[in-house]
Amino acid sequence: MLNHCFLCRNEDLKEMLESSKESLKLEAMKRIVGLIAKGKNASELFPAVVKNVASKNIELKKLVYVYLVRYAEEQQDLALLSISTFQRALKDPNQLIRASALRVLSSIRVPIIVPIMMLSIKEASTDLSPYVRKTAAHAIQKLYSLDPDQKEHLIEVIEKLLKDKSTLVAGSVVMAFEEVCPDRIDLIHKNYRKLCNLLVDVEEWGQVVIIHMLTRYARTQFVSPWREDAVFDENSEKAFYDSEEERRVDQSKPYIMDPDHRLLLRNTKPLLQSRNTAVVMAVSQLYWHLAPKHELSIITKSLVRLLRSHREVQYIVLQNIATMSIQRKGMFEPFMKSFYVRSTDATHIKTLKLEILTNLANEANISTILREFQTYVKSQDKAFAAATIQAIGRCATNISEVTDTCLNGLVLLLSNRDETVVAESVVVIKKLLQTQPSQHSDIIKHMAKLFDNITVSMARASILWLMGEYCEHVPKIAPDVLRKMAKTFTSEEDIVKLQTVNLAAKLYLTNSKQTKLLTQYILNLGKYDQSYDIRDRTRFIRQLIVPNEKSGALSKYARRILMAPKPAPVLQSAFKDRDRFQLGTLSHSLNSQANGYLELSDWPAVAPDQSVRIVEVVEPAGAPVFGKSKPGKSDEKFYSDSEEEEEEEEEGSSSEDSSSSSSSEESESESESEENSDDSNKSSSSQSDSEKKKKTLKNKKLQQQKPDSKDRYWSHAVTKFFLMHIVLSFSNQFVANCRCSLLCLYVFLVCQFDTVSWHVRVSLQASSPVFVPETSRELLHRMTGKGLSAQYRFTRQPCIYGNSMVSLQLTLSNSSDQALENIHISEKSSTGRDIHRFNASGGLRPQASVTVSMGVDFNDSTQAANFQLCTKEDEFSVSIQPAVGELLLPITMSEADFTKEQTILSLCSEIVVFPLN
Amino acid sequence: MIHSLFLVNASGDIFLEKHWKSVVSRSVCDYFFEALERATEPENVPPVIPTPHHFLINVLRHRIYFVAVIQSEVPPLFVIEFLHRVVDTFQDYFGVCSEAAIKDNVVVVYELLEEMLDNGFPLATESNILKELIKPPTILRTVVNTITGSTNVGEQLPTGQLSVVPWRRTGVKYTNNEAYFDVVEEIDAIIDKSGSTITAEIQGVIDACVKLTGMPDLTLSFMNPRLLDDVSFHPCVRFKRWEAERILSFIPPDGNFRLLSYHVSSQNLVAIPVYVKHNISFREGSSQGRFELTLGPKQTMGKAVESVLVSSQLPRGVLNANLSPSQGTYTFDPVTKLLSWDVGKINPQKLPSLKGSVSLQTGASKPDENPTINIQFKIQQLAISGLKVNRLDMYGEKYKPFKGIKYMTKAGKFQVRT
């Protein structure tokens, strides 16, 4: 009957789907989705549904997608009918449709379409829409789980997508990376800095994945920052000073954090303020695993904040805090009160808080904690009360000052009305007594008195064991307890019986006169017990202690075997070894390795090559601090438009001097030449290395090469870019005419082959600058220069040393207390830049300073000039990076000339005129 | 990452399932039901349950368990946070997140889940992006849709998805431009037997309801930002600006959102607005116990304490309670042993009290712990930490918005041990 109804309904739905009315179809699909949601089987309708895959109605289409993804695996042949629709949709102009087509296509788990999927992923990974590229990244994982053989091809796609600069893609592609090829960290090198810098803007889920991946990456690439910190005791200041002294003596090479390592820590720190708890936890674990120990404290507050969140979040966070608090008490001690238990907490939350409180206990706070524990012991939640007693036991063993207090407190609990509390107390007391039994015979006596009232077998067994172990301390009571046990032996639990046998044996050995008969009686009872364990034990004990002719040499040692001193148990946290798992992971939470867990490697002893991470020229070579701000930014604000533009485009070298260009080119940092070498159809000519804009000084001699043929050039210009020069010049007149306040800078982009106008311009007159900034910038700090400090400033005057040089003023001052002699610039200039050195300025007295001038040929690039500043004893590497504006020479030009130049420019694709002020 | 999702109601029935990868049989939930049976209280089910081939991560909200099935290593908080986000989204769409609401809107729920996860990885979780993709159901729209056949599903990629401010859609228009901010502070405290404070701290949030046209850029500054010790922001807040100037600068999402949560530094002493005088005693051997409670205002800065609700979990041995309140009403549930007293407003001239006796099971021994008392209350127009908003400015748009700020103090986890 039911079945019949179901069939009927299916027939109805089929009819509706085949009707011509859109609304009926939609209604049918909605009902079908309802069936799927309830877990009912709707696979019979597949043929009817799949027909609607190409529907115009977008909601209908989406519901069909939902259906398809759910059942395609079961109906592979029919599912193939829909593929062509998706292939068409992949070419749709609407990015949402392209993306959802790819999503569904890749979700259909039909092995036969693997090649189609592969092709679509490859195509989508180069799509213009980042949303589609994101979908492609997701599709990578789907295809990989469908057909792992595609791994190699997929890695290629991942490699390509990792280079993507969109924040939308970053999280998804890293996820794919983690799934497909987590061991290929070489793919990360080049993208490391980009990922670090993008991180803040990535969506929150992506952040979690990227942070976890970068944690793993960092552990393979950087050396441990904890090396010296090992001597830093977290709260002993003395050790701090001591080690300072020691270090000065024996550590020749102090630890310097890799700038990339620092970058990661710095860029993740703001994410501690995220509203997403998973992100906060991810950053916390990153700091835990990567940060120097003294920086760790910043994560504490954020973690404690998470405790205000939902119950489930609390649970995970408390687990992690528990692990952390074992190693580093100091981190959480100020927040101890946040871990106080409330009666409304769930049991697993209570136990975790208890765990943390126990970990945090020390001599100073133990009395507060114990007072708090007293309240917990009285809790109505008896399981929790029992856990508290365990915790008291741990505190008592860890902090010897309070052992006696705890013991007395526990003894008081023995008269508690609740069995579980009493039982737990007995067990804990047993463990505590093992540490120092002789002083506590009265406690043992007290327990013997309570013995009759205790019914929990574990507690009874514990008391019996205590009696046996310390029977010599209570010689009168122990035999009496045994006598009582003999009476009730048959009705006891197994665990109690075993301990009774144990007690009997020990008493037999120490006090055989009183207990011989009792022991034999008990052994006889045990012999016929139902449990084989007890029968075995009885037989064994009898052979061991009762001497007879058959017994071997063993019985001689019976006393030593049974009464051997036993080591006291060590009460320790259940979270002791959890730190073998990366914090914040599922494996850590379960304390067992989950499927797909990626081990965190140990720090390498020697850091692998750092240069693998260098991508482009972001920073000048030899710069001491990573990520330093662009020099001169603040002062030169008023050129900054052009300057930033150049820098963003990673301007290649722009040497015009063909004679010197090849040599200087080679010595440029490698990434730059990499940039340039992409250019295919360029020869070794001076202009060759740029498909980008070039800039040149006004007064430069140009050696133009005649193009082979104009046509070739034109076609080249059309297909790629114009070969251009940027001519930058100042024009005072123009300023006046335009009524711009200070300087006007205009940039000419002139076609290279338009050589005519050059000669005109070369003849232009250089004029004096209107504005020369007085502020100078630092070249060498006195701390790094061992007393010698140097500052530089661009004078904006024509350089007297050479036409292509830029003149600089250098102020050297000596802030040390000795005279510095023979200050000069080293002969070997590292970048091959032509530098006119200042005259070696003899000696410099303490606190004196001197101003010298020098000239540097920057080759018209904003590349830094690096050189060595030397004194008699030392050499210091310094670098000067000019702003674009400093490379220019102001010229005077009539308005007519200016307009003429401007018209020439209109031939080019780009004109930039900056009225800057 | 997330393989499948099962929704389980309070009676232990699966009423919705959704799979993002290949189908996982619902028998996997048996492990969850086992854990559910073992737990004494619904809250006691462990959030992470390992099974031989899968891991079940669950959250409990509105008496519904959201059980996610995981197959391999993933940060558990990732899943938990996502599940909570799902619940928030449902609440946002349907007003309530109940079994009935989900069943009524099963198609929208399915469409939502489809957009929120792709292959188990979150795709769109920002409510304002989702609302452009799938329009929330309203009665009017349902009617219109049935007549015209138009759909709830958007055809264009939401503009937010690609922009630098994904939380705000473009082209927002209002005739009345208004921005409201609620500063809500909660006091968490444990008060001991003698009335002294064991621990007390203040947590606060600023919830906003912003209905402004265009792309407004707001800044909100405080009179005393030093009070804020630890903060977490909505992604719209510019962190650098906060670091440097202690000013909240942001382009707000459209509608309701939580701008900021904060924690007031623990150095400041926390004012406790109410006190409780209690006398609860059970005598050995007798089947009666005495129960007396009196509430009174303490440091309230002259504001009235309202909506006071007292609840207490009485010991298991208690059979019934026979009490008389001086104001409000009380109930006692003999099964759960939960006593709750709806007090209302505290009148400082006539303090509310609840007096009477409780009867104990005959023969049962005297309970060894007195029950803890949980108190809820509200104080309007007061932020107990003293936090004050200085000013709110808007840039980027021409019109003058209406601005409003409201303060409120509430009890968080406020417990009195007796």
pLDDT of residue A674: 43
pLDDT of residue A669: 41
Of A39-53, A618-632, B277-291, where does mean pLDDT reach its minimum?
A: A618-632
Chain B within 8 Å of A142 (Cβ-Cβ)?
A: yes
A134 min Cα distance to partner chain B (Å): 9
Q: Which helix (H) or strand (E) holds B340?
A: strand B338-344
Question: Average pLDDT, whole number, for chain A?
Answer: 75
Residue A59 with chain B: CB contacts under 8 Å: 111, 151-153
User: Residue B377 — pLDDT band, cuts 50, 70, 90?
Assistant: very high
User: Residue A437 — pLDDT band, cuts 50, 70, 90?
Assistant: low
Nearest to A440 by CA among A429, A454, A449: A429
The total of other beta-carbon atoms located within 10 Å of residue A5's CB is 9
User: Residue B139 — pLDDT band, cuts 50, 70, 90?
Assistant: low
The total of other beta-carbon atoms located within 10 Å of residue B378's CB is 18
pLDDT of residue A228: 55
Tell me: domain A2-203, CATH 1.25.10.10, correct?
yes
pLDDT mean over B14-37: 91
Residue with tokens 């010298």: A852
DSSP letters for A439-466 = GGHHHHHHHHHHGGG---HHHHHHHHHH
Domain ranges, ordered by start, for chain A? 2-203, 457-567, 627-681+695-762, 777-892
Tell me: domain A777-892, CATH 2.60.40.10, correct?
no
User: Residue B161 — pLDDT band, cuts 50, 70, 90?
Assistant: low
B66 has a pLDDT exceeding 90: yes
Chain A interface mutation, best of B118, B126, B238, B418, highest count of A Cβ atoms under 10 Å: B118
pLDDT mean over A754-776: 54
User: Residue A904 — pLDDT band, cuts 50, 70, 90?
Assistant: low
If you count residue pairs, one on A and one on B, with CB atoms under 8 Å apart, how many are there? Answer: 243
**Rounded-to-10 torsion of CA B71, A68, A121, A159:** -10
**How would you classify the pairing of strands A724-731 and A890-892?**
parallel
Helix axes A277-290, A204-221, angle to 10 degrees: 10
Cβ atoms of A751 and A716 closer than 8 Å: no
Listed by number, the residues of chain A in 408-437 with a beta carbon closer than 8 Å to a beta carbon of chain B are 416-418
Task: Indicate the length of chain A as a whole number.
Answer: 917
Of A446-455, B220-229, B268-277, where does mean pLDDT reach its minimum?
A: A446-455
Instruction: State how far Cα A768 lies from the chain centre.
Output: 54
Question: Average pLDDT, whole number, for chain B?
Answer: 87
Cross-chain residue pair A316–B198, CB shorter than 8 Å:
no
A750 has a pLDDT exceeding 70: no
Of A698-702, A711-715, B110-114, where does mean pLDDT reach its minimum?
A: A698-702
pLDDT mean over A177-195: 91
C-alpha–C-alpha distance, residues A558 and A648, integer Å: 85
Closest partner CB to A278 (pick from B48, B75, B261): B75
User: Residue B169 — pLDDT band, cuts 50, 70, 90?
Assistant: confident
Residue B162 with chain A: CB contacts under 8 Å: 129-131, 168
Cβ atoms of B344 and B388 closer than 8 Å: no
Tell me what percent of the residues of chain A surpass a pLDDT of 90: 18
Of A204-213, A504-513, A529-538, A863-872, where does mean pLDDT reach its minimum?
A: A863-872
Listed by number, the residues of chain A in 316-335 with a beta carbon closer than 8 Å to a beta carbon of chain B are 316-317, 334
Longest dimension (CA), chain B: 78
Distances (CA, A) of B201 to B191, B195, B412: 12, 16, 10
Chain B interface mutation, best of A154, A299, A301, A586, highest count of B Cβ atoms under 10 Å: A586
Closest partner CB to A131 (pick from B122, B157, B230): B157
Greater pLDDT, A862 or A333 = A333
DSSP A211: H
pLDDT of residue A285: 94
DSSP A94: S
pLDDT of residue A779: 80
Tens digits of per-residue pLDDT, A805-842? 778 788 888 877 777 777 777 766 555 567 777 765 56
Closest partner CB to A305 (pick from B118, B190, B232): B232
Of A651-660, B99-108, B360-369, where does mean pLDDT reach its minimum?
A: A651-660
Closest partner CB to A205 (pick from B122, B229, B315): B122
Chain A interface mutation, best of B22, B48, B107, B239, highest count of A Cβ atoms under 10 Å: B107
Closest partner CB to B230 (pick from A39, A70, A305): A305
Tens digits of per-residue pLDDT, A229-281? 444 444 444 444 444 444 444 444 677 888 899 999 999 999 999 999 999 99
Nearest to B46 by CA among A350, A168, A882, A646: A350
C-alpha–C-alpha distance, residues A750 and A906, integer Å: 9
pLDDT of residue A863: 74
Nearest to B347 by CA among B327, B374, B330: B327
Cβ atoms of A358 and A610 closer than 8 Å: no
A277 min Cα distance to partner chain B (Å): 7
**How would you classify the pairing of strands A693-696 and A724-731?**
parallel
Phi, psi of B416 (to 5 degrees): -115, 120
pLDDT of residue A872: 75
Chain A residue with the nearest C-alpha to that of B367: A380
Greater pLDDT, A301 or A546 = A301
Task: Indicate the length of chain B as a whole number.
Answer: 418
C-alpha–C-alpha distance, residues A862 and A648, integer Å: 12
pLDDT of residue A743: 31
**Rounded-to-10 torsion of CA A120, A123, A126, A131:** -30
Tens digits of per-residue pLDDT, A680-711? 444 444 444 444 444 443 334 344 444 444 44
pLDDT of residue A375: 87
C-alpha–C-alpha distance, residues B179 and B212, integer Å: 7
Which ipTM did the prediction report? Answer: 0.92
Tens digits of per-residue pLDDT, A82-112? 888 888 889 988 888 898 899 989 988 888 8
Chain B within 8 Å of A582 (Cβ-Cβ)?
A: no
pLDDT mean over A186-197: 91
A856 has a pLDDT exceeding 70: yes
Phi, psi of A286 (to 5 degrees): -60, -45
Q: Which helix (H) or strand (E) holds A811?
A: strand A806-814
Tens digits of per-residue pLDDT, B307-324? 999 999 888 888 888 899
C-alpha–C-alpha distance, residues A436 and A470, integer Å: 11
Chain A residue with the nearest C-alpha to that of B192: A375
User: Residue A45 — pLDDT band, cuts 50, 70, 90?
Assistant: confident
pLDDT of residue A435: 73
pTM for this structure?
0.73
A851 has a pLDDT exceeding 70: yes
